[in-house]
Amino acid sequence: MKPSFLKATFAIIHKDLAAEFRSRELLTAMLTFSVLVILIFNFALDLNIDVRQKVTAGVLWTTFAFAGTLGLNRSMAVEKDRGCMDGLLLAPVDRSAIFFGKAISNLAFMLIVEAIVLPLYAFFYNETRIFQWEFIAVLLLGSIGYISVGTLLSAMSVQTRTREILLPILLFPITIPVLIASVLASGAIINDAGLPQIITPLNLLIVYDVIFIAVSFMFFDAIVEE
Amino acid sequence: MQQKPILLTILDILSIIAIGIATYFALVLAPTELVMGEVQRVFYFHVGTGWVALLGFIIASIAGVAYLVSKKMFWDRFGLAAVEVSAMFFLITIVLGSIWARPAWNTWWTWDVRLTSAAVTELIFIAYFMLRAGIEDPEKRARFGAIYTLLGGLSAPITFMVIRLFRSIHPVVVGNPSAEAQGGFDMTVDMRNTLFITLIAFTILFIDFIWHRVRLGGLQEKVEQLKLKTLGE
Amino acid sequence: MIEVTKLIKRFGLKTILCGLDFQVQPGEFVALLGPNGAGKTTFLRILASLSKPSFGNVKVAGYSLPNESAQVRAKLGVVSHLPLLYPDLTAEENLQFYARMYGITNYQLQINKVLNLVGLEHRRKDLVRTFSRGMSQRLAIGRAILHEPQVILFDEPYTGLDQDASEMLDKVLKEIASHGQTVVMTSHDLIRAEALATRFDVLSRGVITASINKNDLKNQNVLDFYKQALEN
């Protein structure tokens, strides 16, 4: 009767997306927050053409990282609040299927937000250089690394007394390599820097992704057990 | 009540003597550096504390693995001790570095590789303490703490490499001296000896601190046990 | 069906269960009684494979925990005081999700059957968010029996229900009990427990202190038995 790994993973993703497309709570919050952050950056950094040249990648990544913690917190709180995490754990499926299910839905939410915020940013600042496939690829790689550690740590923080407050504090120091490497690589791409300036951070990003997907996958069981 | 082990008392005395000797070497015996002058002497303590801080960080990750494999509470106490001692030494390293950087680089702080990595590590430690503070169940606290130190231990080298992509002005004194960086200097034999003695002295002090902290953790647990026993009856 | 010997569970320095022994034969409906903080919920969580025993042997449906927990989970249904349901999905969608998680093939038929049993057929397309406490609880039971488990664990199913909802729940539980599945239920409500269970066990200070079959109660009622068990 045990469902296959893929079926269980897919069931969780399907469930998360169906619930989210009905309530739209998480996506609305993430999107509104992202727009607010960009608005604040506009005035805090005075994003004129000269400044934008340098900081576009940084502004976007800061926005996504902050919005990401909102989504991660919410996505795990949904499981915790009505005991649904117990429901998942009671099912005869591998714990890693639960991890991948949650991680992939979280990634989907993050990518949806990015897919809406990027055109908005381009619209606000007439910045079309962000629509290069290399830029999108870096965004995808960065999001994967960020979300895999984020899913693991949100499963951890949701079980502590301080819950939502703790997640960014746990997550940001660990994901600094993702953020810096992504900013470096995507910044180099939109500024047409040489290939070495893109490849080096990109390699580190890939190394990080591989290591932390493996580690998160390994430790998820140890975090949800009792 | 557990008696304090004699070996620990000996180690206490030994660390005081060792730090005394190292201080004498660093402040008196070592030659004054030509360009930077007396302030260069802070370098010995900076490297000494930095070395044990890094050692503590690595040990904490190893203790994390040991806990997850064995589930023995000793490794949790050991890991916590390593993190606490390492956090303190990292802070001292950063402050000493600042004191040295002011005359050498003409700034208190710079976003250099080592400095920034040390700062990130301090933040990982703070997050670790906050994580522990938020969990009541000691077993869960140990498990989460172990996993988090491991995540920190894995991300730190990548953090270091990523930050290095930004240009560094930190001098490389030991190893290949591609001393384009400002403030680099060649060490004389006396300087090398002094550095060597300081490293040994801080290592002894480090072991002493860890031992004390692990022992303290054990005593804390015993107090909790006794409390529970008396309250339960 | 359930075999527990010398079960010890510690949380840090606190010992919740201290050498508990517990056996349940197939088809028995055991009401697990006991004061607050006696360890009932902890015990059920261990049986449910959600919590690992510190020491001791636990066997459920022929498989031992925690090593064969995947096999145990496939044969186990759990209803806790939390509903374990997603508020933004409909009743039917919730059941569909869990059916997939249990690898049930052709689940639509099974879902219809279960919805019928818990009396929620007419609300199948409604969001769980709009359900009352009693309806959520009934759907939670539907969720737990969806994969036709051999063993069902109920943790305080009556908590927070009003009179009508409790009676509805009574009907559902009786129906389940008549199917011959093995049930362990913790409850504060001695009267409801008496109506349902075939055996009464008292859990106090981390061990089972007394156990009696319904037939052996004779003219004594459960309340007296429970009081006596606690005094000893």
Closest-CA distance of chain C to residue B232, Å: 10
Looking at residue C66, its pLDDT comes to 83
* DSSP character string of A8-40: HHHHHHHHHHHHHHHH-HHHHHHHHHHHHHHHH
Residue in C with minimal Cα distance to A85: C84
| Strand order across the beta sheet in which C2-11 lies | C14-24, C2-11, C55-60, C63-65
H-type helices in B41-72, by residue range?
A: 42-70
Residues of A in contact with C102 (CB under 8 A): 1, 3, 91-92
Question: For A15, which of C83, C86, C103 is closest by C-beta distance?
Answer: C86
Looking at residue B175, its pLDDT comes to 45
pLDDT in tens, chain C (232 residues): 899 999 999 887 788 898 899 999 998 899 998 888 888 889 999 999 998 898 999 999 889 988 888 889 999 999 988 889 999 999 999 999 999 999 998 889 999 999 998 889 999 999 999 999 889 988 999 999 998 899 999 998 888 778 888 888 888 888 888 888 899 999 888 888 888 888 999 898 888 888 888 888 777 777 788 888 777 6
Residue, of C165 and B91, whose pLDDT is higher: B91
The phi, psi pair for C43, rounded to 5°, reads -65, -45
- Residue B180 reports pLDDT greater than 50: no
**A95 touches C at CB < 8 Å:** no
Report which residue type is found at B144.
Answer: F
Q: Mean pLDDT, chain B, as a whole number?
A: 86
* DSSP character string of A186-209: HHHHHTT--HHHHHHHHHHHHHHH
Closest-CA distance of chain B to residue A183, Å: 11
Digit-coded pLDDT (tens) for A104-144: 999 999 999 999 999 999 998 888 888 889 999 999 999 99
What number is the ipTM of this complex? 0.93
**A51 touches B at CB < 8 Å:** no
The verdict on a CB contact (< 8 Å) between C13 and B139 is no
The verdict on a CB contact (< 8 Å) between C84 and A84 is yes
Digit-coded pLDDT (tens) for A150-160: 999 999 999 99
Residue, of B61 and B188, whose pLDDT is higher: B61
Digit-coded pLDDT (tens) for A4-40: 899 999 999 999 999 999 999 999 999 999 999 999 9
The verdict on a CB contact (< 8 Å) between B124 and A173 is yes
Residue in B with minimal Cα distance to C12: B138
- Residue B176 reports pLDDT greater than 50: no
Closest-CA distance of chain C to residue B139, Å: 6
Residue in B with minimal Cα distance to C14: B228
Look up tokens 């703070």; give the residue. Answer: B126
Look up tokens 């737990």; give the residue. Answer: C144
The verdict on a CB contact (< 8 Å) between B155 and A161 is no
Looking at residue A129, its pLDDT comes to 85
Interface with B, mutate which of C13, C51, C205 (most B CBs under 10 A): C13
Q: Which two tokens stand for residue B10?
A: 């000996």
How confident is residue A87, by pLDDT bands cut at 50, 70 and 90? very high
- Residue A47 reports pLDDT greater than 50: yes
How confident is residue B179, by pLDDT bands cut at 50, 70 and 90? very low
Question: For C48, which of A82, A90, A94 is closest by C-beta distance?
Answer: A90
Q: What is the model's pTM?
A: 0.91
Closest-CA distance of chain A to residue B223, Å: 24
Looking at residue A168, its pLDDT comes to 96
- Residue A178 reports pLDDT greater than 50: yes
Sign for the pseudo-dihedral over CA of B30, B32, B34, B37: positive
The verdict on a CB contact (< 8 Å) between A3 and C100 is yes
Helix (H, G, I), strand (E, B) or coil at B37: strand
Residue in B with minimal Cα distance to A153: B148
Question: For B165, which of A173, A200, A219 is closest by C-beta distance?
Answer: A200
CA distance A170 to B157: 17
Burial of C93 (0-12, 13-18, 19+ CB in 10 A): buried
- Residue A162 reports pLDDT greater than 70: yes
Q: Which residues pair with A107 in a beta bridge?
A: none
Mapping DSSP onto H, E and C, the string for chain C reads CEEEEEEEEEECCEEEEEEEEEEECCCCEEEEECCCCCCHHHHHHHHCCCCCCCEEEEEECCEEECCCHHHHHHCEEEECCCCCCCCCCEHHHHHHHHHHHCCCCCHHHHHHHHHHHCCCHHHCCCEHHHCCHHHHHHHHHHHHHCCCCCEEEEECCCCCCCHHHHHHHHHHHHHHHCCCCEEEEECCCHHHHHHHCCEEEEEECCEEEEEEEHHHHCCCCHHHHHHHHHHC
Residues in C lying within 8 Å of A, measured between beta carbons: 45, 48-52, 70-71, 73-74, 76, 78, 80, 82-89, 93, 97-98, 100-104, 127, 143, 147
CA distance A7 to A218: 20
Looking at residue A1, its pLDDT comes to 64
Residues of C in contact with B139 (CB under 8 A): 10-12
CA distance A117 to B21: 61
Residues of A in contact with C100 (CB under 8 A): 3, 7-8, 10-11, 14
- The CA distances from residue C149 to A105, C76, C124, C146, C180, in Å, are 29, 5, 22, 8, 11
Digit-coded pLDDT (tens) for B215-230: 999 998 888 888 878 8
Looking at residue B232, its pLDDT comes to 65
